[in-house]
Amino acid sequence: MFKAHFKKKLLTFELEVDISLSQGILALVGPSGAGKTTILQCLAGLQTPSWGEINIHDKIVFSSERGKDVPIRNRHIGYLFQDYALFPHMTVEKNVVYGKPKKGSNPNKALTATNVLKMLKIEHLRNRYPKQISGGEKQRVALARALMTEPELLLLDEPLSALDQDTRSSLQQELLKLQAQWQIPFILVTHDVHEAEMLGDQIIKLDHGKQEVLKKLTIAQ
């Protein structure tokens, strides 16, 4: 379960967000400069909202009222950067295990690097360096690395925008599959309305800091 209601002052307008999500994928659409990435960064703790409260998995990670601001590393959020942000000096495998928790918090998942690499079909790349693999492969490595931390929420910043059409369609399918398999809420930022429609169980459109709900959660559970 995830709930956030906060405001953040930006240069030319104030961003106001009120979103909640228990399962599935929430897609945030809007033109560039609408504040999409800022929302993800506020959720992850990379930026601080000016007012509001953020709840992840029934834990308050940010509250302006109570003066609470949990540091990034303790928020248990997976974050996929737009440019993947893979560590260039580490192999694919080293990248993937960088955030592996010391002790698995959820023994049922029995998460090993090999499992995650297999699941994302990048096992054969484990000894390569990021500059030696393609864009689609980088995206899979970034996903593997984020999932390895056993996050309670996964944030994806324009995850497919830099990829060609074919890679894009296959990764879209894979994201849907992963979400179903992993059972954690995903929040996905995109400027492509079609992609939002295809992936989002909920769609929210942003324009100048104001949000408009395009599609509400309708999955029966």
Partner 1 sequence: MEFDFIPIILSLKVAFASVIIVTCSCIPIASLMAKHEFVGKDIIESLITLPLVLPPSVIGFMLLVFFGKNGPLGRLLEQWFQIRVVFTLVGAVIAAAVVSFPLMYQAVKAAVESIDRNLEQAARTLGAREYRVFFTITLPLAWNGIIAGLVLAFARSLGEFGATLMIAGNIPGKTQTMPLAIYFDNDAGDLRQASILVILMTVFSFLVIYGVNRWRRGLRRDSRGEEI
Query: What gap in Å lies between CA 147 and CA 116, rounded to an integer?
Result: 8
Helix (H, G, I), strand (E, B) or coil at 25: strand
Distance, in Å, from the CA atom of 190 to the CA atom of 177, rounded to the nearest integer, reads 18
What's the rounded Cα separation, in Å, for the pair 2 and 216? 15
95 to 134: interface string for partner 1, x by CB under 8 A: ---xx-x-----------------------------xxxx
Which CB atom, from 87 or from 109, has the smaller least distance to partner 1?
87
70 touches partner 1 (CB under 8 A): no
The least CB distance from residue 210 to partner 1, in Å, is 27
Q: Cβ closer to partner 1: 88 or 218? A: 88
CA distances from 195 to 63, 88, 90, 190 (A): 32, 29, 32, 7
* Closest distance of CB 73 from partner 1, Å: 5
67 binds partner 1 (CB under 8 A): no
Four-residue CA torsion sign, 151, 152, 155, 156: positive
Residues binding partner 1 (CB under 8 A): 44-46, 71-75, 77-79, 81, 83, 85, 87-89, 98-99, 101, 131-134, 145-146, 149
